[in-house]
Amino acid sequence: MNRIVTGAHYGLKDWLLQRLTATVMLVFTLVAVVRIAGAEPGYAGWAGVFAPDWMRAALFVFLLSVLYHAWIGVRDIYMDYIQPVGIRLTLHTLTVLALIAYAGWVIELVWSH
Amino acid sequence: MTTTTVARKRPKHLDLPKISLPLPAKVSILHRVSGALLFLALPVLIYQLDQSLDSDAGYAAAAAFFGLPLVKLAVLLLVWSYSHHFCAGIRYLLLDLHIGLDRVPARQSAAVVFAVSLLLTAIVGVKLW
C-alpha cells in the first residue's frame, strides 16, 4: 500500500471524530449563546457565565473539541494543497506543537479563574 | 485510435473567473476558508478569553481590544466564519445522514446556509456598531 509519510490514519476514526467534535461544539455554542445573552453586562456577569463547575467542564470539552477538530481540518488542507513532503511535514509538526500548546493554555484558562 | 485524438482535443477551460460553481460548491470552499481563518485566529481568541475571565482589569483590556475599529472588522469576519462553518457543518451532518442529498434540496440547503450565516453576521454587525 502506497502511504504518504505525512498523512494520517486514512480511516473512519478521524471522519467520526470530526463529526463528534462538531456536535459537541454545536451544543456548547447554543448553550453558551443563551447563557451569555442572559448575563449581566460587565466582568461579573461574563465570569458568571463560565463559573459553574458544569460550565467549566463543558468549556473544557468544547475547547479541546475545537483543537482536535482544527487539527483534522488543517491537516486535510495541507494534504490537498501542500505537495512537497518536507514542507508538509514541517507544517504538520508546527501545527501539532501549536495545538498542544493551546491545549495546555486551555487547561490553565478553564480552571484558574 | 479515435479515442486518443478525442482525448487530446478535449478543451481545457481553466479561466477561473469564467467558471461558475454551483452554490453547494461555494458553500464547500467557504467552509474550508472559514475553518482556516478560525484556526489562524485561535491564539488571539484563546488569549482574549483567558484575559477577559482573569480579572476586572483583564476584562476591561479585552473589551478595549475588541473596541478597536480594525479589530471589530476582524471580529465581523470571524463571526461570519463561525456562522458559515456552523451552518455548513450542520448541512454536512444532515447529508451524512442522507438527508437532502438530491440536487434540488442540496442547492436549497446551500442557499439557506448562506442566508442564515449572512443574517447572523449582519445582526452581530449591527450590535457591534
Look up the CATH number of the domain holding residue B114: 1.20.1300.10
CB–CB contact A113 B54 (8 Å) = yes
Q: Is residue B12 part of a domain?
A: no
CB–CB contact A19 B96 (8 Å) = yes
What is the assigned CATH class of domain A12-112? mainly alpha
Q: Is residue B90 part of a domain?
A: yes
User: Which residue intervals of A2-112 are DSSP H helices?
Assistant: 12-37, 43-49, 53-81, 85-112
CB–CB contact A102 B42 (8 Å) = yes
Pick the residue of A21, A23, A43 with the most B CBs within 10 A to test the interface with B by mutation.
A43
Q: Is residue B14 part of a domain?
A: no
CB–CB contact B39 A29 (8 Å) = no
Q: Is residue B80 part of a domain?
A: yes
What gap in Å lies between CA A57 and CA B61, rounded to an integer?
26
- Per-residue pLDDT reduced to its tens digit, B66-121: 999 999 999 999 999 999 999 999 999 999 999 999 999 999 999 999 999 999 99
> pLDDT: is A5 or A79 the higher one?
A79
Q: Where are the domains of chain A?
A: 12-112
Q: Is residue B82 part of a domain?
A: yes
Size of interface A-B (CB pairs under 8 A): 53
**Domain count of the fold of chain B:** 1
Q: Is residue B121 part of a domain?
A: yes
Q: What is the pTM of this model?
A: 0.89
Instruction: Indicate whether B9 pLDDT > 90.
Output: no
Query: Nearest C-alpha of chain A: how many angstroms from B5?
Result: 31
Name residue, grid cell 472559514. Answer: B34
Q: Is residue B13 part of a domain?
A: no
The three grid cell numbers given for residue B121, joined into one nine-digit string: 453576521
What gap in Å lies between CA A94 and CA A77, rounded to an integer?
14
Residue A14 has what pLDDT? Answer: 87
Cβ pair B46, A102 in contact under 8 A: yes
Residue B111 has what pLDDT? Answer: 97
Pick the residue of A100, A109, A111 with the most B CBs within 10 A to test the interface with B by mutation.
A109
pLDDT band at B7 (very low <50, low <70, confident <90, very high): low
Q: Is residue B10 part of a domain?
A: no
Q: Which of A51-55, A91-95, B16-20 has the lowest mean pLDDT?
A: B16-20
The residue range of the domain holding B83 is: 22-128
ipTM of the complex: 0.90
Cβ pair A62, A25 in contact under 8 A: yes
What gap in Å lies between CA B112 and CA B106, rounded to an integer?
10
- Per-residue pLDDT reduced to its tens digit, B32-61: 999 999 999 999 999 999 999 999 999 999
Residue B88's closest CA among B23, B5, B8, B9?
Answer: B23
CB–CB contact A77 B32 (8 Å) = yes
Q: What is the largest CA-CA distance in chain A?
A: 59
